[in-house]
Amino acid sequence: MAITEADPSIKTLEQAGFASWPAAKVVDDGTWQIRLSSALPYKRTNSINCLDLADGANVEQRLASAIAQFDMAGVKPTLRSTPLTPPELIKACSTSDWSSPYSESLVMTAPLQSHFNSGGFDMFEEPAPEWIANYKALTMNSDIDGSAITDTLNAIEKPVCFFQIASPDQCLGVAVAVVQDKLVGLFGLAVATAARRTGLGRSLSHAALAWGADHGASTAWLQVEDDNRPAKQLYQALGFTERYRYAYRSFIGR
């Protein structure tokens, strides 16, 4: 997937997000993407996503078809609403059959700067079993299907790097960096409770961004939930600014 814009568009960032955290199955309907990963509880890999604000024709029929795809996968139908979501689709999902918007998140971008440094972290080009175990433990998702998350991580378009730092007793932090041409995405940043407010999150972010710069990226980007104040403060201190927002609506009609 070629991404070459110096100032990435919303569509470019959305496409980077799809490549950086792939779904097990994708059903295309025009510029709509129905993303399905029934073995993983992630909203971003189990949602309807749109890439063209003008692609709102036949919305009721297409939405019914998308809901059927979710039903067949055994997944709750969910719309991920971004600035590219057609108003016709937002209107169709604004009835009592759908939830109010939730999990509002910011997509943030920042120019890569020379002061980022890599620090001393373990780095893996593949998702090593120990990294996956540490990621699950730090994100409190220990019940996630191990083979499903491994398949997802292995499907990320390369170059990708998995970071971690550990004490003799436990893993203290993990992060993932993914490069598509001039963009580096920062994902999965998690720090152990005992190591928070020590600067470890900043150091992990620096390592991921330095790696991205070494692999040709000039712009960094990430996604963070709006109510995660500590993370937003960290990213703002690193030079990230808000590019756009998205939220979710879930089908509750039955």
Q: Is the pLDDT of residue 78 over 50?
A: yes
Same domain, 160 and 100: no
Same domain, 82 and 120: no
Whole-number pLDDT of residue 247: 98
Whole-number pLDDT of residue 120: 72
Q: Apex CA 160: angle with CA 157 and CA 166, to 5°?
A: 145
Helix 129-138 with 146-154: angle, nearest 10 deg: 110
> In the sheet that 241-250 helps form, which strands lie side by side, from edge to edge?
25-29, 32-36, 47-50, 78-81, 241-250, 102-111, 219-225, 183-191, 171-180, 160-166, 122-124
Let me know: does 13 contact 223? Beta carbons within 8 Å: no
Distance CA 223, CA 244 (A): 10
Whole-number pLDDT of residue 41: 82
Distance CA 178, CA 152 (A): 13
105, 124, 147 — which closes off a domain?
Answer: 105
Which backbone phi and psi does 32 adopt, to 5 degrees? -85, 140
What does the block give as tokens for 192?
Answer: 């152990």
63, 86, 105 — which closes off a domain?
Answer: 105
DSSP state of 226: T
Q: For residue 108, what pLDDT band results from cuts at 50, 70 and 90?
A: very high
Q: For residue 140, what pLDDT band results from cuts at 50, 70 and 90?
A: low
Same domain, 236 and 136: yes
- Whether 3 is in a domain gets the answer no
Whole-number pLDDT of residue 118: 59
| CATH number (domain holding residue 131) | 3.40.630.30
In the chain, how many domains are there?
2
Rounded average pLDDT over 172-185 = 94
Q: Which domain holds residue 39?
A: 10-105
Q: Which residues contact 214 (CB under 8 A, 6 or more apart)?
A: none
Q: For residue 181, what pLDDT band results from cuts at 50, 70 and 90?
A: confident
Highest average pLDDT, of 94-103, 146-155, 207-216, comes from: 94-103
Rounded average pLDDT over 1-19 = 76
Residue 171 pairs in a beta bridge with: 166
Q: Which of 64-73, 77-86, 99-108, 196-205 has the lowest mean pLDDT?
A: 196-205
Distance CA 186, CA 231 (A): 12
| Unique residue bearing structure tokens 């089908």 | 251
57, 76, 105 — which closes off a domain?
Answer: 105
What would the pLDDT profile of 203-223 be if each residue is shown by its tens digit?
999 999 999 999 999 999 999
Exposure class string for 163-184: b at 16+ Cβ within 10 A, else e: bbbeeeeebbbbbbbbbbbbbb
Q: Is the pLDDT of residue 6 over 80?
A: no
What would the pLDDT profile of 12-69 be if each residue is shown by its tens digit?
999 999 999 999 999 999 999 999 999 888 898 999 999 999 999 999 999 999 999 9
Q: Which of 78-82, 115-119, 136-140, 191-195 has the lowest mean pLDDT?
A: 115-119
Pairing verdict, β 241-250 and 219-225 = unpaired
